[in-house]
């Protein structure tokens, strides 16, 4: 797993996923690992965005990024799923709804 260093030594406030958000994301992650689609993840907490990156193999670029940008909350676009090519696959204000774009891929993987 890949982690961005965070802690008391950082001088600025960072965006992070809440426990309930991580529960939703890790639930999907576990199902995708069980289906053999995903193998690793990384979490980054930056000043304006929290990112949960999903990897097919450890030593490669992420195949998906799940981002949380609180500054976009008023536009109802706080969460986004971004593909490997940088394209936004889904954006919205409800994490479960946004993650459905990846759930469809799980259904195809199980068929």
Write out pLDDT tens, residues 28-84. Answer: 999 999 988 899 999 999 999 999 999 987 667 899 999 999 999 889 899 999 999
Do the beta carbons of residue 68 and residue 17 sit within 8 Å?
yes
Is pLDDT larger for residue 74 or for residue 105? 74
Asked whether residue 5 carries a pLDDT value surpassing 60, the answer given is no
- In the prediction, which pLDDT does 10 show? 46
- In the prediction, which pLDDT does 60 show? 79
DSSP, collapsed to helix, strand or coil, labels residue 55 as strand
Asked whether residue 8 carries a pLDDT value surpassing 60, the answer given is no
Is pLDDT larger for residue 28 or for residue 10? 28
* DSSP conformational letter for 56: S
The Cα 99–Cα 25 span in angstroms is 8
Predicted model pTM:
0.82
């Amino acid at each position: 797993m890949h982690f961005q260093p965070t802690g008391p030594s950082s001088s600025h406030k960072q965006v992070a996923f809440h426990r309930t958000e991580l529960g939703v994301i890790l639930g999907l992650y576990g199902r995708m690992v069980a289906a053999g689609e995903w193998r690793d993840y990384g979490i980054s907490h930056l000043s304006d965005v929290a990112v949960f990156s999903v990897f097919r193999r450890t030593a490669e670029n992420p195949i998906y990024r799940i981002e949380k940008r609180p500054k976009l909350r008023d536009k109802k676009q706080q969460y986004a799923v971004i593909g490997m090519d940088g394209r936004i696959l889904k954006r919205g204000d409800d994490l479960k709804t946004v993650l459905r774009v990846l759930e469809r891929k799980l259904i195809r993987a199980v068929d």
